[in-house]
Amino acid sequence: MNRSLFLDAFLKILEIPHKLVLTIHTNPDGDAVGSALALAAFLRVHNQEVTIVSPNKFPEFLSWLKGADHILIFDQQAKEVKARLQTADYVFCLDYNGVSRSGALQEDLLKLNCPLVLIDHHREPETDSFKLMYSNISVSSTAEMIYELIAETDVEQLKNQEIAEALFAGIMTDTGSFSHSINRAETFNAVARLIENGLDAVHVHQQIYDTFSENRLRLLGYSISNRMQVFNEFSTAVITLSKDDLNRFNFQIGDTEGIVNYPLSIHNIMMSVLITEKSDQIRFSFRSKGNFSVHELAKNHFNGGGHNNAAGGNLKLSFKEAIDYLIKVLPFYKNQLNS
């Protein structure tokens, strides 16, 4: 569905009050939460009744955003979420490209009678699942897409600081504070306009990046000094964190966010992998520089996907098997990784 058709449909939704549920992907990040909060605030200005649902808990460093305390968490408030889904006129899917990425929510999403509306920037959206679709894989973040929607439908709301802070949080976190996915002038134009309209960008940055617990910073240090292996022959660095490692630093959701980016700062390292032992599966996080597509790697071998330079996946293996598996996969990509 092209952009102008989507805009028409979106404007139609705004015309009269509806019951709307905004959902985000499992293990939500700053873009997921920021996009949902900004869109929810915008829709409420337009007399829509909006509920935000996250499949599971979001990181503490996002909890200061206005409205975050009203987000329903499915794995803690299933009954209430199901009730909202049942009466919804539309269910939005923000910052994810396929129903399975909604984790524990997916069963309920598949049973819905109302239309699913996608707004997302990940590769290969699951086209058949969505009645309305706004997908653009060249945009920095879903928050930037929400920015565009607001700019085109009710530009005055870009002055609304609740909206502006949430949008900036999404754009900033999904670009690694403007270090990647930033080769479009539009991203900077969007931020410039938010700042012209009164956004305190430094405040948002500090709330998100200068609020670590001591344990979180020590876990980062430990990950790099004790748990990073460098495979120079594959231009790859791998950090492995077991459950014991996480317990040692009193792991809280969000504490491993960003760790995977650090190994890319090594000269000649083209890919960084973070392997984390979770209670029921192994989580893989991939980052790359240049042309090596971690989306393809994650899709082909790790039951996942994402973007060319940032992707994730999950496998049901033991921690040791997971590390061995990755080491077996790397040689197949040796030429690509070294080119």
Contacts to ligand 5GP by CB under 6 A: 25, 29, 97, 101, 122, 285, 304-307, 310-314
Please identify, using beta-carbon distances, which residue of 34 and 304 lies nearer to ligand 5GP. Answer: 304
Please identify, using beta-carbon distances, which residue of 142 and 235 lies nearer to ligand 5GP. Answer: 142
In the complex, least distance from residue 214 CB atom to ligand 5GP, rounded to whole angstroms: 23
In the complex, least distance from residue 79 CB atom to ligand 5GP, rounded to whole angstroms: 27
Please identify, using beta-carbon distances, which residue of 157 and 181 lies nearer to ligand 5GP. Answer: 181
Torsion of CA 327, 333, 337, 339, to 10 degrees: 150
DSSP H stretches of helix in the chain: 3-15, 30-45, 78-87, 106-110, 142-153, 161-174, 185-196, 201-209, 214-226, 243-248, 294-301, 319-329, 334-338
Please identify, using beta-carbon distances, which residue of 96 and 231 lies nearer to ligand 5GP. Answer: 96
CA angle centred on 201, ends 199 and 203, rounded to 5°: 105
In the complex, least distance from residue 170 CB atom to Mn ion, rounded to whole angstroms: 7
Q: Which stretch binds Mn ion (CB under 5 A): 151-159, 172-180, 206-214, 312-320?
A: 172-180
Contacts 24+ apart (CB under 8 A), 71-75: 71/33, 71/36, 71/37, 74/104, 74/105, 75/104
In the complex, least distance from residue 281 CB atom to Mn ion, rounded to whole angstroms: 22
Please identify, using beta-carbon distances, which residue of 84 and 295 lies nearer to ligand 5GP. Answer: 295
Please identify, using beta-carbon distances, which residue of 142 and 285 lies nearer to Mn ion. Answer: 142
In the complex, least distance from residue 245 CB atom to Mn ion, rounded to whole angstroms: 27
Residues 138-157 that bind Mn ion (CB under 5 A): 141-142
Is residue 120 at the binding interface for Mn ion, with CB under 5 A as the rule?
Answer: no
- 13, 74, 81, 95: which one contacts Mn ion (CB under 5 A)? 95
Is residue 31 at the binding interface for Mn ion, with CB under 5 A as the rule?
Answer: yes
Please identify, using beta-carbon distances, which residue of 119 and 330 lies nearer to Mn ion. Answer: 119
Which partner in Mn ion, ligand 5GP, none is near 120 (CB below 5 to 8 A by kind)?
none
Torsion of CA 38, 74, 208, 211, to 10 degrees: 150
In the complex, least distance from residue 31 CB atom to ligand 5GP, rounded to whole angstroms: 7
In the complex, least distance from residue 192 CB atom to Mn ion, rounded to whole angstroms: 21
Please identify, using beta-carbon distances, which residue of 29 and 245 lies nearer to Mn ion. Answer: 29
Query: Which of 111, 142, 146, 106 has its CA nearest to residue 10?
Result: 146
Distance from C-alpha of 107 to C-alpha of 112, rounded to nearest angstrom? 9
Torsion of CA 313, 315, 319, 322, to 10 degrees: -80
- 162, 165, 174, 245: which one contacts Mn ion (CB under 5 A)? 174
> Do 245 and 275 form a contact (C-beta atoms < 8 A)?
no
In the complex, least distance from residue 267 CB atom to Mn ion, rounded to whole angstroms: 28
Distance from C-alpha of 229 to C-alpha of 255, rounded to nearest angstrom? 20
Containing 282, the helix (H) or strand (E) segment is: strand 282-288
DSSP conformation class of 185: H
Distance from C-alpha of 167 to C-alpha of 127, rounded to nearest angstrom? 25
Please report, as ranges, the residues that interact with Mn ion according to CB under 5 A. Answer: 31, 95, 141-142, 174
